Amino acid sequence: MVQAAGPREIAAEWAVFERAHEGEAAAWRELTSRHQPRLTALVLFVTRSPAATDDVVQETFVRAMQARIKNHSGSVSGYLGTIAYRLAVKEAQRSRRNSDIEALDPPGLGPDQLEEMLSAERDRQVAAAIARLSREHREVLALRFYAGHSYEEIAALVGVPLGTVKSRIFHAVQACRKILSAEGVLE
């Protein structure tokens, strides 16, 4: 579950962003290493094209660095997620490619190689379950759990009422649980 960052974390995140914007290599590496995995997952769920994903994520960072931001009220994660989401929607509409989501090899999270393999397999199964959902359900899940947007931000991005966002997320999670239970991933 995505946890909301506090004011200090948001200010620190923007400080790193500004240093990267000014050309500091260490800040750039920190910014990309912190946000690239989530942006990649978000874009992949929207475009369903591993080939387009890298390009869209790279374009997200390019556009973020070219922008002159005056208002730091939201999080850097939300800002980057919004850019990535909009670019991904445009790419999905333009290309209409349907690539196999199972080609994605998500990185493992544990220090032990066996745990990494098991984690990667679970991630693959969850990604495959999400890929089977409708576009509306895939998008709200990706925006919530991969881009870190609040329900209100998702409603504004997608252009639907807040209650619709909550309902879609609830039903999408239930559908994923049903798929994963049927496949023996969940008990």
8 Å CB contact between 146 and 41: yes
pLDDT tens profile 56-102 = 999 999 998 888 877 777 788 888 988 998 898 888 888 764 444 44
Greater model confidence, 123 or 141: 141
Greater model confidence, 117 or 178: 178
Q: Average pLDDT for residues 131-159, to the nearest whole number?
A: 86
DSSP assignment, residue 3? Answer: P
Instruction: Please state, in angstroms and rounded to a whole number, the distance separating the CA atoms of residues 72 and 94.
Output: 31
Which domains does the chain carry? 7-182 (1.10.10.10)
8 Å CB contact between 35 and 77: yes
CA angle (120 as vertex; 55, 26 as ends), nearest 5 = 50
Look at residue 160 and tell me whether its pLDDT is greater than 60: yes
pLDDT of 150 = 86
Q: Nearest-CA neighbor of 150 among 140, 160, 159?
A: 140
Instruction: Please state, in angstroms and rounded to a whole number, the distance separating the CA atoms of residues 153 and 32.
Output: 22
Q: Average pLDDT for residues 27-54, to the nearest whole number?
A: 86
